[in-house]
Amino acid sequence: MAKEAKFCPGCGHPIVLRFLHMILREKELESKAVLGLDIGCSLLAWDFLPVNTFQTHHGRVTSTMVGYKRAQPNSLSFAYTGDGGAYAIGMQSLMWAAIRNEPITVIVVNNSNYAMTGGQQAPTSFKGQITDTSPSGCGDEPVFGPELVRQVNKKAFIARTAVNDPKQVKEYLEKAIEAQQNGNFAMVEFLSYCPLNWKTVGIETNNYLNDNLKMLFPVGEF
């Protein structure tokens, strides 16, 4: 890592980023990697890894990295975003990148809320979830991103796992990188911790992930 993490204590983002860095270092791909960051907690990764980095407008990280990959086809291009950036303002960019089978890797960190702005209801907030904008419980069904993207691209590597399954985190990141190297679109969603906005401490945070997100969002390859 280039510098200390700026994420909140207990956040799941550093888990994903540490494994991404581990893989890039093991495979000697750091010099080829370019990391595009969406607005939100994801932007705090701007100097977390020793790779070239873009910070984009909210929801535009996927389209930015598509453009970069077209200009630099030998690069290893990553779009790193949260569930809000991917499935709300960025849904159009995500879907069309998948439809066109753009050879980039999209990493979506899903903590079921808009975390950086205070914990508001997000596209992946589950029914009944208490957030700052749904104090009586969310009344909407969540977006299932990987399942949706799979419908428009049968060649892509599409998967979901959780940050408390490190073996699968590493496995799916490796497969997503391999898919890009083989000329295909790839997307992995990571169910992630957000103790600050979930208002959990210690083991409660892991229990919240297991009892809510992992019970609702199926993990595995799609």
CATH of the domain at 110: 3.40.50.970
Cα–Cα distance measured from residue 24 to residue 76, given in angstroms and rounded to the nearest whole number = 10
Beta strands 33-37 and 52-55: pairing type? Answer: parallel
Helices vs. strands in the chain: H and E counts, helices first:
9, 7
Mean pLDDT of the chain: 96
Helix (H/G/I), strand (E/B), else coil: 192: coil
Which pLDDT value is given to residue 47?
Answer: 86
Domain count within the chain: 1
For 213, the domain range is 13-221
The pLDDT, as a whole number, for residue 119 is: 93
DSSP state of 209: I
Is 187 domain-assigned?
yes
Segment 112-126 mean pLDDT: 95
- C-alpha separations of 7 from 35, 52, 206 in Å: 17, 20, 17
Helix (H, G, I), strand (E, B) or coil at 167: helix
Instruction: Judge whether residue 2 has pLDDT over 90.
Output: no
- Locus of tokens 């701007």: 46
Task: Give mean pLDDT, residues 2-6.
Answer: 69
Whether residue 1 is predicted with pLDDT greater than 90 in this model: the reply is no
Whether 156 is covered by a domain: the verdict is yes
Work out the pLDDT band at 4, boundaries 50, 70, 90.
confident
Q: In what order do the strands lie in the sheet with 76-82?
A: 52-55, 33-37, 76-82, 105-110, 186-191, 157-162, 220-221
Residue 109 is assigned to a structural domain of this protein? yes
**Nearest Cα residue to 59 out of 8, 111, 96:** 96
In a domain, 204, yes or no: yes
Q: What is the pLDDT of residues 40-86, one digit of tens each?
A: 999 999 888 999 999 999 999 999 999 999 999 999 999 999 999 99
Region of 177 (left: φ > 0; alpha: ψ -120 to 50; beta: rest) is alpha
pLDDT value at residue 29: 97
Secondary element (H or E) of residue 206: helix 203-208
Given CA atoms 192, 197, 198, 203 in this order, what sign does their dihedral have?
A: positive
- Whether 4 maps to a domain, the answer reads no
Within a domain: residue 138? Answer: yes
CA-closest candidate to residue 90, choices 131, 124, 118, 119? 124
CA atoms within 13 A on the CB side of 14: 12
pLDDT of residue 199 exceeding 80, the answer is: yes
Tell me, what's the pLDDT at 170? 99
Query: Is position 150 within any domain?
Result: yes
